[in-house]
Amino acid sequence: MSRRPEHLAPPEVFYNEEEARKYTQNSRMMDIQVQMCERAIELLLLPEDEPCFLLDIGCGSGLSGSVLEEQNHVWIGVDISSAMLNVAIEREVEGDLILGDMGQGMPFRAGSFDGAVSISALQWLCNADKSSHNPVKRLYKFFSTLFECLSRTARAVFQFYPENSDQIELVTTQATKAGFYGGVVVDYPNSTKAKKFFLVLMTGGSMPLPKALGEESDNSMISYTSKRERMKKARGKPLKKSRDWIIEKKERRRRQDKETAKDSKYTGRKRSGRF
């Protein structure tokens, strides 16, 4: 059974009073949130030493807002969980807070913001928590209204947890349809724990995506169709289920004193499928 929060309950239900406090008092969670927000701000490419007016989408208890404050930016936060916003008020954050569902759109004037950040919120829009919810329509409504309320030089950066490549395609397709340019930057792509996805959206035309952290080659929009091919070409590693791979695995089992079938000329040979 999946333990992803978005599978357990809608965000306004999952982040109740108890969960909101637990989230905000968890030092590990706070550190991760701060690091991801700092990286999101870096990807915004804001003017140096200049305070900007930013939108924090899915602001929660104001952890990322505190990072914006430390960097001298002015911000407004939107979140669907009243419990999370209550904790933000208790923490006396400096940003203005709005209770709202991002899937119903951003209720701001055109060109209001110099940029937008969002940490761990976007994946919730891929779910249909109510019978009236249509993820495609809600994503388009969100991105189109966000596009309108950003200045024409602004960027929006979303750190999110996609469940699979289909979700990434769903999100990027609706963002592009709404007028954005950009793509996904994957930091530390080869690490299980440190790997992070950032959707970087631009309003003022197509520009090269920022370089991903932990990636030696130039970063570009992710091509998910070629992922399997890249895996196959991993240096020094035999192809899975090939003869070399099977022999290597059998050698490992022998070193561990496990019962292992003998090698023969048939080891790793493809079966014809006929009886």
The mean of the pLDDT values for the chain is: 81
Length of the chain (residues): 275
Q: What is the DSSP letter of 261?
A: P
- Sequence ranges of the chain with CATH classification 3.40.50.150: 5-231
Residues 6+ apart with CB under 8 A from 258: none
**Cβ-based burial of 133 (10 A; exposed 0-12, middle 13-18, buried ≥19):** middle
The string of pLDDT tens digits covering residues 193-242 is 889 999 999 998 888 898 999 865 444 444 333 444 444 444 455 565 57
Structure tokens at 70: 């430390």
Predicted TM-score of the model (pTM) = 0.71
CATH superfamily name and code, 5-231: Vaccinia Virus protein VP39 (3.40.50.150)
Reported as a pLDDT band with limits 50, 70 and 90, residue 271 is low
pLDDT at 176: 96
Structure tokens at 112: 């209001």
pLDDT at 251: 75
The string of pLDDT tens digits covering residues 67-98 is 999 999 999 999 998 888 998 898 888 999 99
Contact 224, 168 (CB under 8 A): yes
Reported as a pLDDT band with limits 50, 70 and 90, residue 263 is confident
What is the rounded end-to-end Cα distance, in angstroms, of the chain?
Answer: 38
Report the distance separating Cα 180 and Cα 227, nearest Å. Answer: 25
The string of pLDDT tens digits covering residues 170-195 is 999 999 999 999 999 999 999 888 89
Q: Is 212 left (phi over 0), alpha (psi -120 to 50) or beta?
A: beta
Q: How many CB atoms lie within 10 A of CB 185?
A: 25
Q: How many CB atoms lie within 10 A of CB 227?
A: 12
